Amino acid sequence: EDMTGNVLYSLSFLGTALANAPDLDLSADVTDTLPETVKAKGDALLLSFAEHAALPAAAEVYVAAGTHFSDAGGIDVYQIDPVSGEAVRIAMDGSVTDGYIVFDIESTNDIILAAGGLAGAADEGGGFPIVPLVIGVCAVVVIVIVIAIFIRRKKAASGAGDD
């Protein structure tokens, strides 16, 4: 809670999903100061957990974001890998509803909410890799053409020797 008693964030677990719940410190700070390695393209909030650990089950997270973001959509959710420091998108195009944005997490790695995304972030499951696909298809076509030319020349050379 903040100083006025407003809930800043909460985690909810489905009781039947909790098999073995370890003792975890789920306290966190909500701030608009991002790590130096992360650059937001627009407004952003950081939910920085005291402890980085796997959760015993998926948790639904509510973060008070209504005073920071408008009710419009387009808010992406990223988790920061504690080893590499890389921000990976885990949810996209969220929106603020009744002052909160809601998403699911499976660990207490730090979370960034960003309107407009982050510069240089890895997009887990984000988008179809069209450029690598086109390059791969072009490479296969070139290889097939080279093989066809080689076979044709070899047949022409062996056919000329049969006369």
pTM of the model: 0.68
CA atoms within a 13 Å half-sphere pointing along the CA-CB vector of 30: 19
pLDDT of residue 17: 66
Residues 6+ apart with CB under 8 A from 88: 78, 79, 80, 81, 121, 122, 123, 124
Reported as a pLDDT band with limits 50, 70 and 90, residue 98 is: confident
Report which of 15, 44, 66, 12 is spatially closest to residue 112, judged by C-alpha positions: 44
Mean pLDDT of the 93-103 span: 85
121-148 per-position pLDDT tens digit: 665 444 444 445 556 666 677 787 878 7
